[in-house]
Copies of this chain bind each other. A is one copy, B any other.
């Protein structure tokens, strides 16, 4: 626990772009040219940085985000910049010797280099990588040696809450290329994963006793992050396209503070693409409608998007992606949670968030005195792979490869469902993204109903019978945002992420047998 010089968000700035005429939006092919014009990347130990160093001039032609001071929690409002921050400014004096910060000397890091074996696009398979992949090396003094912009001397030392400039540059460019937010002062900061970012978002935005808005079936751990903070969830009804904007509007328009014992909710948590657990993906029209309801009721949107690149249409990659909330966010009322977990490695525990400068600054003030920054070892591995080896184009090739792989997996699961499941009682909508398939089972046809059994009891019976049949699925009721809500229907969630096609087919065949046994078919 030692104080790195903290981020001075005012210290950094974009290079002078006054000579540039009407700038074009950043593209994959435009990155090398823009990098030449960018301010020099700061490469010192725990050097300050911000997305403003890396955003292209096109960003600055847009209006600024609205301010959301009125939505900040007491905790978030009371955060101040670190006391030791004041000292960091003096480090800029050339010739000064610092006996100030307790940063260890690099000679005491017992790692001289790290070599990483990675794929060469487009040969992405494990087998091809083992045979003909490349080895990329991170040495201790590559910056001094002039062989890289990032090295172990920096990555193994303390860092900034934003993460290192070297990786933040890639993340910022990626964000601009894919989402191009419609306001100027957006920023990125790295996080120790999206679960942690969500926990922090709740601490930045809510008070004990508040309600938050969620899809009526949601990633249960996201709800369980909120409950111990004294928060309750209102489940918004969903259909095959996810959130129903009219239902959200109705809940908010008719909010009864007295009856609820809480003020009107103003934070929406949503998984717009390949939703967990339902697999639903909101269309562009749906997102626009939800955004309008959010504007009407001054709701702040946290979009959790780990499955964004696991959309299944396999051509015209960037254009084919459904627009994110971030990309339509004219107000700056969206915080986008981004994750490498589903596209590179969950074990890296590196994610990032995108939001307006005001919000990102409050997150950074929080991170500085809690997680500090994600692992520098993870960061340099990601930098070597994504920035130095693949570049944006190779990364997009990888994402296309992944979505083809997941499309195959999804198709295998759907084929098995069509082949095995009794359609008299089992129904589903093919998921267009993500890793989850949501199977509805018509429990009212179960023989237990006549015997007076409840929906809950029958769900439990089917689940346990499936386990007896040697297949594990997740029970739909586990994913209820509001635990007190009454369920009319019954669902089981199946993932096609981990098992092979053969195993998936066997598992679905077993589940079909279980259902036939249970329903006497």
Contact = CB atoms under 8 A, between A and B. Distances in A.
Given A84-B474, A474-B87, A1 B348 contact: no
A325 interface: no
Interface string A80-105: 10111001001101011111111111
Contact of A118 (B2, B110, B473): B110
Interface string A494-521: 1111110001101110100000000000
Interface stretch (A19-27, A227-235, A257-265, A424-432): A227-235
Contacts of A339: 1
- Band of interface residues on A: 35 or more
Given A84-B474, A110-B118, A110-B124, 4 more contacts: A2-B341, A98-B499, A107-B125, A348-B376
Given A84-B221, A196-B372, A378-B378, A100 B474 contact: yes
Given A1-B222, A125-B107, A228-B78, A499 B345 contact: no
Contact of A82 (B221, B337, B347): B221
A467 interface: yes
Q: Pick the most buried of A2, A126, A228, A276: most chain B CB atoms within 10 A of its CB.
A: A2
Nearest to A141: B126
A198 to B, nearest CB: 7
* 3 closest residue pairs by CB, A with B: A347-B376, A375-B375, A199-B370
A192 interface: yes
A158 B126 contact: no
User: What copy number does this chain have within its complex?
Assistant: 2
Contact of A195 (B100, B348, B370): B370
Most-contacted residue by chain B among A1, A87, A135, A398 (CB, 10 A): A1
Contacts of A494: 99
> Among A101, A219, A341, A504, which residue has the most Cβ atoms of chain B within 10 A?
A341
Contacts of A124: 110
B347 A158 contact: yes
Given A98-B472, A104-B498, A370-B196, A230 B126 contact: no
Interface in A105-141: 105-119, 124-126, 129-130, 133, 135, 140
Contacts of A193: 1, 371-372
